[in-house]
Copies of this chain bind each other. A is one copy, B any other.
Amino acid sequence: MQPDAYNPACATRLVLDRIADKWAVLILGLLAGRPTRFNAIRRAVPGLSQKVLAETLRRLERDGLLTRTAFATVPVTVEYALTPLGETLAETVDALRVWAETHIVAVQAAQRAYDARIADQAA
């Protein structure tokens, strides 16, 4: 079968579903080039709950995008690092973050214009 993200029977759909995720984007961007510990990620991504971080990391690990390494320190520290596969995705996904940061102003202006139009219609 040819990979085709538009075919719901194609597993590509599942992969896309997994990587088109806000938290995954931020985590991959953060880990790019530098392994990071669980709580360090948490601190770097405010608003991300422990639960969702743990789940997201486990999914990314399962997908072969990052590795989880526990060190027998006290307390135990766990380090997450991108795999080569993960690094290739991080580059791709970081473009999304960059787009958001670059075009935020235009998007917000569009939102205000849209909302004004809607308000006029209602009036």
Contacts and interface: CB of A to CB of B under 8 A. Distances in A.
A31 interface: no
Contact of A111 (B63, B100, B114): B63
A85 B110 contact: yes
Number of this chain's copies in the assembly equals 2
B6 A101 contact: no
B107 A64 contact: yes
- Residues of A in contact with B, size category: 35 or more
A1 to B, nearest CB: 10
A54 interface: no
Interface in A99-123: 99-104, 106-111, 113-115
A111 B18 CA distance: 13
Interface in A62-100: 62-65, 85, 88-89, 92-93, 95-97, 99-100
Contacts of A47: 8, 13
Given A5-B26, A16-B97, 6 more contacts: A3-B104, A11-B104, A15-B103, A15-B107, A20-B96, A64-B110
